[in-house]
Structure 1
Amino acid sequence: MNIIEGRYISAGKKNLYVKILGEGTPAVVIETDWGGLSSEWQDLQYELSKYTTVITYDRAGYGESPRGELPRDGKHITTELYTMLANSNIREPYIFAGHSAGGLYVQLYAKMFPMDVAGIVLVDSITTENEEFDKLDVPIYQSTVSLPARMGNIRKMLELEKEKFSAQIIPILQNLYNGIQEDIKKQLITYQSEQGFYQALINEYDASFETYKQLKDIKMLPNFPLKVLCRDYKVMIDISKQIGIPEEEARVIEELWLKHSKSLLNLSTNSELFLVSNSSHSIHQTRPDAVIQAVVDMMGKMRGN
């Protein structure tokens, strides 16, 4: 679409859209959630680039990047990222920041290519035990906003003709992004009005069970510096209540989420957990300063500052 600045770098059979800002080492690589876009991170990338090189990109099928080859499992995605970085002329090792499902991919990258990794920041990351949420006795949550429910709704919408799809999705997106910075809002609505964007999301979700298995099959994660950022329990309960989830269900969800976040500390003996006040699941948008501080602190220790 070419509505934002950046360049294309080969990731093997496909070229991926990449944006590189700043100078210095170690470079920071940002990995987004399922359905995440590099443009969500543009303000954070700009601020963080005052300290070092920062790399954002759109995975295959999202934003400015062309559709990728199937399956869209973790090893496939991680190998594409490895190839793109090798062709970027930005030398390793890197600090990886992975948001939500992006946290799975950076963990797998560290297991597959440990020599390229200096440290990891997990930003409200999901875990390989994410299916536990689907087994909770929270009926309203399960039928409305659980991952299976949301993916089911997306599949139904993808059956619509293009015009009907756009007529339904654009008002939803305008309401969703009401109040955010206008240039970012325009980019997100443009990208997320395309059916191909949602097919890419479905493809990654459908391969998630294989991704979990791949992570479990490689037992050891090298002992990197690891920071785990977790959302604000109370903020998420308030958000859940606003969309019709009973408070008792929201508490069950948030208790399991916190348990999962704490379990990520077991990935490294050099790990820290940060409960980020006043943040939602999208910590990079509601508390970008917390993400920046986590990365800068990690860099400072590496540089001996």
Structure 2
Amino acid sequence: MQEMGLEYRVIGEKGPLIVIEIGIGNSFYSWLSFIEKIENKYKILIYHRAGYGKSPESKAQRTAGHIASELNALIDDLNIDETFILIGHSFGGLCAQQYARMFSERLKAVILLDATSHHFSRLYDLKLPVMYSLISLEKMIEENIESANKTTEELSQRFSGLIEGSKAILQNGDFENFKCFITDPTLFRTIANEFMNWDQSSQLIEDSGEFPDIPLVVIARDKELAAEPFIEHGIPKEEAFLYEAVWRDLQIELSQLSPRGEFIIAEGSDHEIHKDKPEVLIQAIERLILQK
């Protein structure tokens, strides 16, 4: 469904409301298997940001502030008046931090799922020459701009493995939707813009005052497990372990934003905790629902 042009789905018919802000470059199709586990107990709103999927591209810069405002407008248009739990995964967690500062009255609680920190620049201040020759912020911007300049056919070839792998996971209609999602040059232009605005988004969060006094759960990945793919791709162990140690420190700091913050490590999970260890996220939701 679409409201204000933004593509969204409301899944589940009863129970408290959960709103999900997805990670950078991700689709809401990657969350469907998780949502199936909770849809009998909760209502879930998940959507595609502007420039993702069937949501039209926006002229506004892709900052956390603009994204938070657009989500809030969607919630207004859907006539949602109950408070809800906001889950922000990865870059979606950066957006969730900003949303909480701008619209705290709408929130029951926030879950930051291995979220991007507003102090993420500390990662890029590290001396990691091999890692950042491969995955620097500049590299990610450059690669997404390159993809944005490709045709749908070229993107289909480039992501053929990802497309083929989704066949076993998604139903027919969603498979075709995902194929359109991942082969749309607009997506990659939007991702590049989100990356380019990371500094501005982080500064905006800094300038927006303190995080509200609401329940906050921060769930972090298993740092030893998360280092393994880096090492497999030729990044020295010392660099991978240092990166993961600082990422963990930033997660702990996020949990301290609220006096009602809680920090959890998802043992045995990499970055996509909702796929690797869904039970950890489900348990966190259940505890927050029970809080008064």
Q: TM-score, normalised by structure 1?
A: 0.88
When residues 214 and 25 of structure 1 are mapped into structure 2, their CA distance, relative to the original with a 3 A threshold, is farther
1:298 aligns with 288
Identify which range, 88-97 or 269-278, moves more after superposition.
88-97
Q: Percent identity?
A: 26
Out of 139, 153, 159, the position equivalent to 1:170 is 159
**1:9 lines up with 2:10 in the alignment:** no
User: Partner amino acid for 1:173?
Assistant: L
Gaps of at least 5 residues in structure 1 are 1-6
* CA distance in structure 2 between the aligned counterparts of 1:178 and 1:40, rounded to whole angstroms: 9
When residues 185 and 292 of structure 1 are mapped into structure 2, their CA distance, relative to the original with a 3 A threshold, is farther
2:169 aligns with 181
Out of 61, 78, 91, the position equivalent to 1:71 is 61
**How many correspondences in the alignment?**
290
Instruction: Using the TM superposition, give the Cα deviation of residue 182 of structure 1 relative to its aligned residue in structure 2, in angstroms.
Output: 4.8
2:110 aligns with 120
When residues 209 and 50 of structure 1 are mapped into structure 2, their CA distance, relative to the original with a 3 A threshold, is same
Instruction: Using the TM superposition, give the Cα deviation of residue 90 of structure 1 relative to its aligned residue in structure 2, in angstroms.
Output: 2.9
Q: Any residues of structure 2 matched to 1:137-286 within 5 Å, and which?
A: 137-167=127-157, 169-171=158-160, 173-174=162-163, 177=165, 181-183=169-171, 187-286=177-276
Gaps of at least 5 residues in structure 2 are none
User: Partner amino acid for 2:46?
Assistant: T
Q: Secondary structure at the match of 1:23?
A: coil
User: Partner amino acid for 1:266?
Assistant: Q
**1:84 lines up with 2:77 in the alignment:** no
* CA distance in structure 2 between the aligned counterparts of 1:288 and 1:52, rounded to whole angstroms: 15
* CA distance in structure 2 between the aligned counterparts of 1:274 and 1:219, rounded to whole angstroms: 25
When residues 252 and 224 of structure 1 are mapped into structure 2, their CA distance, relative to the original with a 3 A threshold, is same
- Kindly report structure 1 stretches of 4+ aligned residues shifted beyond 6 Å: none
- Do the aligned residues in 2 keep the contact of 1:51 with 1:296 (CA within 8 Å)? no
Identify which range, 182-191 or 131-140, moves more after superposition.
182-191
Out of 106, 109, 118, the position equivalent to 2:96 is 106
Identify which range, 84-93 or 277-286, moves more after superposition.
84-93
User: Partner amino acid for 1:28?
Assistant: I
